Structure 1
Amino acid sequence: MELVSFDTQKMMNPDMEQGEDQKGTRFGTEVRAYLRQKWEDKCAYCGKKGEEVERLAPRSRGGSNRVTNLVWSCRKCNEAKGNLTLEEFLAKKPAVLRRIQQQQQTSLVDSAAVNATKYRLLDELKRFGYPVEMGSGAQTSSNRHQQGYEKAHWVDAACVGPSGEQVRVAPLKPLKVTRRGRGNRQMCGTNKYGFPIRHRSCQKVFFGFQTGNRVWAVVTSGKKAGTYSGRVSVRATGSFKLPQVDGLYHRFFSTLRKGDGYSDSFSERQVRSPPFLPLLQARGGKGAFGEG
């Protein structure tokens, strides 16, 4: 279960190797993602596009890897700062110095509050007796990128948590479910200027149909002859509307499913596994979606 955007424990206590350089690719997924968002992917010093993590106080002068000592920087400013402290590097730019110092004082209180909640939720989920693991959004993104999958919500769902590091996403056509709601309580329709032009009845069901029902319509003759299906919009006159056609009478319709506030359809675009990937298995010896 993906519960938070960033893991504050990893950011406050990064588990980094002593010999790791600040430009290394294994600097820490959580830290890099957090700093990019915090600084809007811009260099803290010059405002141009950032590229890497930079220490305010260099390691040679006692600087640590804690997130309070890190900013997002471009390569040019990183190299120019070198072994200088923040105050030394920005001695001639007091406004930039104050801005960075104020930004670094921003605490992780909000993220910490969410993290405190996630552990309680984890305990409640474990009561069902099923194995449960959790991960952050930054970890999910890293897992997806490392395995070469393209961005999609259902692919992210397979890449959540530690077991998401090695998953097989087979060629699938995902089912897309959209929350539509159950209509509205507006009693008076208005024009684009806000003036009332029609009033709506309290009655919602007409001729056995209600707006939002999924229906099947078969028209055997006339200009609108054909077979149609989808969510219907009803009218008191008995002339209903479908996504493909308007003005079909109720006698042509049959109900496939009562409206429940949701619509679903299969995605037209398939997401396929990268050809270079081995058929990795995870999640208890099976693929991400229960495939052997």
Structure 2
Amino acid sequence: MAVFVLSKNKKPLMPCSEKRARLLLSKKQAVVHKTYPFTIRLKKQTGNATQPLQLKIDPGSRYTGVALVMDLPTLMRALCLFELQHRGHQISEALTQRRAFRRRRRNQLRYRPARFDNRTRKDGWLPPSVQHRLDTTLALVQKLKRLCPVSAIVFERVKFDMQKMLNPDIQGVEYQQGTLFQYEVREYLLERHQRTCAYCAGESLDPILEVEHKHPRAQGGTNSIHNLVIACRTCNQAKGSLTLSEFLSTLKNTKLDKVRKVKITQILAGKVFRLKDAGAVNACRNQLGRDLASQQLPVSTGTGAQTKYNRMRYQLPKTHALDALMTGELTKPVEGWSRPTLVVKAMGRGCYQRTRLDQYGFPRGYLQRKKTYFGFQTGDLVISTVTKGKKQGIHVGRVAVRDSGYFNVQTKTGGVQGVSYKTCQIIQRNTGYHYYFNSKVAH
């Protein structure tokens, strides 16, 4: 991929090729400014002539593709391809666990009245897991603006039609009214399953029917109507927090379990939709457009159909980075799409939690209070040169610090434990992200 270049005063210049960067470094006309993405800084003052660069973005729930493109008169040349990996799902799971711990401590172990009337939300508030996607995308855009002279932004303002995804043939009044028109959720489910258990068809003779999640909430299931069924209490408790596949594997050859096997097999044979990611993209697409417009650059948008048409016209594989490259209107040939993609994985900067918790949500151990030990902190990119012993070799990766002075280094091939801090040298300080190339050619 292209190498970013900064002037002597740290102003962004046009990116150069890897060959030219090696030449400047060998002649000591430049120094390494940043390892990921690789950036050099010139020692002498030069001109500031630039060419138009476009930053193309394909936003997503788990991954966001970003492409830096040079807009030449006769063609579009891809300089860098990025794949930003979000951690919104981890944030959502952590908040769910914290909420469960607090509810148990408040209601079952020591009662305290709930407080919610005195808590307000600002206008435009988004859930933390969704806000994280906006923040990381905007942070990458701002970082690239500091490293190269971006002149325009193009992003795919995608919108997923949930009803069309579930039923492509829906139209007319049925599309306008929706699935639950004139129904409540429970009544709709009772009518859909003819007031019998979806798993045993009344074989258990349990008269109590409950709303049940096919894909359990404990494993990321949602309250979407298509994830809900009516089940008797016996089947609901037997399934618990298992998925349908896991529940099927636990069934035996009793008369009741034979009926359950048939019903569950029929449910699994149907098409399963996961709408959580589509909902996350729909929730933040408008705010992302407003945030990008605040960067004081011309912003244009494209559609998902336009991106798919461009990708099929050039016969490119479907990846997040190439989708970003194909975003918007393309009136010129595109080259450079075979460049390796730099994956930018959001890792976070640690957490405020200072204790480990037991199964009831009570502290069972305390975490270290300091972040820095012997000049290193967890997440720093280091190179460790071990000259003797079982760990002999050169290890490059993220470091996990210990107060004993013996660190763990996570490399591409695995972890190396118990490396002395004296053998470690900083390559790049922790920025909250982990970088690696997803192409073997890039290594």
Match of 1:21 in 2: none
Computed over aligned residues only, the root mean square deviation of the Cα atoms, in angstroms, reads: 3.7
Rounded Cα–Cα distance in structure 2 between residues aligned with 1:205 and 1:114: 38
Match of 2:373 in 1: 206
Match of 2:417 in 1: 246
CA contact (8 A) 1:214 1:257 kept: yes
Match of 1:42 in 2: 167
Give 3-state SS (helix, strand or coil) of 1:254's partner.
Answer: strand
Give 3-state SS (helix, strand or coil) of 1:237's partner.
Answer: coil
Is the counterpart of residue 154 in structure 1 residue 229 in structure 2?
Answer: no
CA displacement at 1:262 relative to structure 2: 1.1
Give 3-state SS (helix, strand or coil) of 1:40's partner.
Answer: helix
Is the counterpart of residue 184 in structure 1 residue 351 in structure 2?
Answer: yes
Rounded Cα–Cα distance in structure 1 between residues aligned with 2:293 and 2:372: 45
Rounded Cα–Cα distance in structure 1 between residues aligned with 2:379 and 2:391: 22
Match of 1:231 in 2: 398
CA contact (8 A) 2:156 2:327 kept: no
Rounded Cα–Cα distance in structure 1 between residues aligned with 2:179 and 2:361: 47
Gap change, CA 1:160 and 1:116, over 3 Å in 2: same
Identity score, percent = 30
Match of 1:76 in 2: none
How high is the TM-score relative to the length of structure 1?
0.53
Is the counterpart of residue 262 in structure 1 residue 429 in structure 2?
Answer: no
Higher relative contact order, structure no. (Cα contacts within 8 Å, ≥ 6 residues apart): 2
Give 3-state SS (helix, strand or coil) of 2:379's partner.
Answer: coil
Rounded Cα–Cα distance in structure 2 between residues aligned with 1:137 and 1:153: 12
Q: Which amino acid aligns with 2:157?
A: V
Q: How many residues matched?
A: 185
CA displacement at 1:190 relative to structure 2: 3.5
Cα deviation digits, residues 97-119 of structure 1 (max 9, x gap)? x754513999xxxx8x967995x
Is the counterpart of residue 4 in structure 1 residue 175 in structure 2?
Answer: no
CA displacement at 1:222 relative to structure 2: 1.1
Structure with a larger share of its residues in strand:
2
CA contact (8 A) 2:356 2:365 kept: yes
> Which runs of 5 or more residues in structure 1 are unaligned?
7-33, 46-55, 57-68, 70-97, 272-292
CA contact (8 A) 2:163 2:175 kept: no
Rounded Cα–Cα distance in structure 2 between residues aligned with 1:241 and 1:121: 38
Give 3-state SS (helix, strand or coil) of 1:134's partner.
Answer: strand
Q: Which amino acid aligns with 1:42?
A: N
Please list, as runs of the form range in 1=range in 2, the aligned pairs for 1:1-292 lying within 5 A after superposition: 1-6=154-159, 37-44=162-169, 69=172, 99-100=174-175, 102-103=177-178, 118=289, 128=297, 132-163=299-330, 166-190=333-357, 194=361, 196-243=363-410, 244-268=415-439
> Which runs of 5 or more residues in structure 2 are unaligned?
1-153, 182-281
Cα deviation digits, residues 63-107 of structure 1 (max 9, x gap)? xxxxxx5xxxxxxxxxxxxxxxxxxxxxxxxxxxx754513999x
Gap change, CA 1:137 and 1:105, over 3 Å in 2: farther
Q: Which amino acid aligns with 1:255?
A: I
CA displacement at 1:263 relative to structure 2: 1.4
Cα deviation digits, residues 25-67 of structure 1 (max 9, x gap)? xxxxxxxxx66x432253546xxxxxxxxxx6xxxxxxxxxxx
Rounded Cα–Cα distance in structure 1 between residues aligned with 2:380 and 2:418: 16
Rounded Cα–Cα distance in structure 2 between residues aligned with 1:193 and 1:247: 33
Q: Which amino acid aligns with 2:434?
A: S
